[in-house]
Each structure stands twice: as C-alpha cells, then as structure tokens.
Homo-oligomer: A and B are copies of this chain.
Amino acid sequence: MRALNQSLSVAIRYSVHFTEDLFAPDNLRLRKVVGHGRRHLNRLLCVVDRGACTHRADLPARIQNYCVRHRDVLDLVCAPILVPGGERVKSTPTYVARIQEAVHRHGLCRHSYILAIGGGAVLDMTGFAAATAHRGIRLVRIPTTVLSQNDVAVGVKNSVNAFNKKNFLGTFAPPYAVVNDSTFLETLSDRDWRAGTSEAVKVSLVRDPVFFRFLEHNAQAIAGRSMNAMAYLIRRCAQLHMEHMAEGNDPFETGSSRPLDFGHWAAHKLEQLTRFRLRHGEAVAIGVALDSTYSMRIGLLSETDWRRILGLLSQLGFQLRVPRRFQRLHGRDNPDSLEHGLTEFREHLGGELTILLLKGIGSGIEVHQIDDRILAESIAILDRAQ
C-alpha cells in the first residue's frame, strides 16, 4: 500500500518589546502585551527569580499591585512564585513540578499566561514547565540580566539539566512575547553586567563586523556601565539572534549546524567542570577566545583579527585563560576533560561534529574536525597571551 505523506507548516510570531520600569502602575506595556487591547480578563501565573529581588525586595509586591491596578485585564491567580536564579534552578526538578502544580491547582488553560521574570536559567526552566503543561501555556519572558535580554529570551528554546548534562531536557517552543525592561540592569553586579556582553561579541564575530567595531569603540563605555551603550548592545544582539533564526530555515535545529554556538562547546564544558562557578557569559568569553585562537593557529584567522578579538574581550573585563586545572587534556572520552565538551556537543546536536571557526571578523566557517594537539597548543597560546 502507498504511504500517506503529511506536509504542514507552523507559523511562529512573537515580538520583543523594550520598556523602562515595567511594573510602574501607569506603564501600559504589559497590559497591552497580555490583553492585546481588549477588555477581557486574562489569567496569569508569575515566576520570579530571587536574584532579581536582591536589590528590589518590593518586586513581588509591585507585580501584585500592577495586576490589581489593571484588574480588568490581568488576573494574577496567586502570589508570584519565587525561585532561585542560576543553574541550580535548572538542575532541581522540583521547580518545574511546582509551576506545573500551580497550573493545575489554579486551573490555568492554554490561553492563560505564565510570566517568567529573571535571568536565563529561570527563563529556561519556567519555559520548560510552561511548554509542557497542557502542551503549552503562553509564556511571556521578562529577562532581567544582560545575557537573558540579548540572547536567551529571544530564542525558541527552553531546557533543564538532567543526568549532570546541561540542557538535557527541553523543547522548542517560542515565547508568546518578550519584554525587556532596562531598569532591571541598573542594579546588576558588575560581574553580571559584564557577563552578558560576551554573547554580543560572539554574534558580532559570526555575523556583523560593523557591530564588532561598535563594541570596540564602546568597550570602555560598556565596561563603565553606560546604559545608552548597553541598550544598543542588547537591541542589536537580540536582533542579530532573531535574524539568524529566521534566515536559517531550521529554527528547531533538525540539522547539525549551529553557528550561533561559536565557542560554546568549551563554554558549556567549562561551566560544568567549574560546577557553574564560571558564569555562562564568562565561559563563553573563554570559549570564543579559545576557538578564535585555534582559528588563528591553523591559519584561518589573521593574527591582527585575533588580537582585536582578545583585546575587545579583555577591555570588556573578561579573563580569557582556560582555568589551569583544565588545561591538560585527557582525551575525548574522559568526562573530566575539557575536550569531552566536543563529544557532548556532537552528541547533543547529533550527526557529525560541526564546529564553527573564524575566517575573519564577521565571517565563520564550519569544520568537522578539531585536532587535539592544536587545541592543546591553542590553550597554551591563550594562557600566554594575557
């Protein structure tokens, strides 16, 4: 009997909004995003990163007040659920279960909303809970860190960790909307402010030399906490990520190629090896520096461009050495070894190992082999370069 062939197309649309002081009672942005202009009550559940409350203890109360003020449109079904920030929230299954239990208890439906307010880890974890309850409750991401505003929040992925593997469980699920509130950035520690900028360097290296020059010219202003420079960095970085997804024609990553993950095989592994004492952005800075060095070492990238890349990352305040105790390689099959990250990267994406290297600033090329000896040399070169 002949086979039956199915061919479907799923349209995905969402917007990334920019505002200041989102929960000021007269800021209409959230009201508009959720209510899309209609006077109709919408049920909301709210998950808040404790990290976002460190310098603004009144955040949960302000969210509640905002919903009371706009109670003709926003029906907050219970007090905001507070969860820890950082990888811990992705590694402990109880947080996902707690959100799903609240969806059940308050009878949220697929047309209800979950607001995820926090850094990348909280957005990832909440997104996984939202995507799987009723096969998907509308998720409004409200990222509160540089990294989550310019990168995590604009994508179509969510995840939690399992079996000691980062992002082992997750789904592809676009957000209903993203709202970037620059006010959250004011109270970030210098470390968190800086950590998010390495993804901007990365995306500029892969896609946009003009943006790289902007970052070079503004590195000091960014490091000195200029909100104007940071606002442009975030917007442009988010835009480049979104354009890449739309152009790539493979938003759900059925292939093995992932050029936006430049430097990430090492970054993911370094986060894990340091038990997340390195922030994701800090690990990305090292990963980008390492793969740039490898690109230079095999003659793909000019030494001038390599120096510019390392210079920019240093000016932004990053430490670029691979931590000493992970500099020695022990083989791709050894999970305690940095280069096991190549094994994990291939395993996660599937198929052939596919790594992006640089031919120049703004221009990448995919390779399918990494030479461990040259990798070891690149680690040593990077160690001496700083």
Contacts and interface: CB of A to CB of B under 8 A. Distances in A.
Interface of A: 1-18, 100-101, 104, 107-112, 131-136, 154, 156-157, 159, 162-163, 165, 167-174, 231, 235, 238-239, 242, 245-246, 251-254, 256, 346-351
A252 B9 CA distance: 10
A239 B2 CA distance: 12
Of listed A8, A112, A252, A349, residue having the most chain B CB within 10 A = A8
Contacts of A173: 171
Contacts of A350: 109-112, 134
A148 to B, nearest CB: 15
Given A104-B163, A136-B171, A347-B107, A242 B4 contact: yes
Contact of A133 (B100, B134, B169, B252): B169
A180 to B, nearest CB: 9
Given A15-B4, A154-B6, A168 B104 contact: yes
Given A162-B100, A347-B109, A6 B12 contact: yes
Contact of A157 (B135, B157, B167): B135
Contacts of A135: 157, 159, 167, 170-172, 252-253
Contacts of A100: 162-163, 168-169
Main SS class of interface, A: mixed
Contact of A16 (B6, B159, B163): B6
A193 to B, nearest CB: 19
Nearest to A256: B111
Contact of A17 (B3, B10, B171, B348): B3
Contacts of A168: 100, 104, 133-134
Contact of A235 (B4, B13, B156): B4
B109 A348 contact: yes
Given A3-B15, A4-B239, A168-B133, A349 B9 contact: no
Nearest to A132: B169
A173 B172 CA distance: 9
A6 B10 contact: no
Contacts of A18: 1-3
29 contacts: A2-B18, A3-B17, A3-B18, A4-B154, A4-B242, A5-B14, A5-B15, A6-B174, A6-B242, A6-B245, A9-B9, A100-B168, A100-B169, A101-B163, A104-B162, A109-B349, A109-B350, A110-B254, A110-B351, A111-B350, A112-B350, A132-B170, A132-B171, A135-B159, A135-B167, A135-B252, A136-B172, A136-B252, A171-B171
Nearest to A352: B111
Contact of A252 (B10, B107, B109, B162): B10
Contacts of A6: 12-16, 154, 174, 242, 245-246
Contacts of A172: 135-136
A174 B15 contact: no
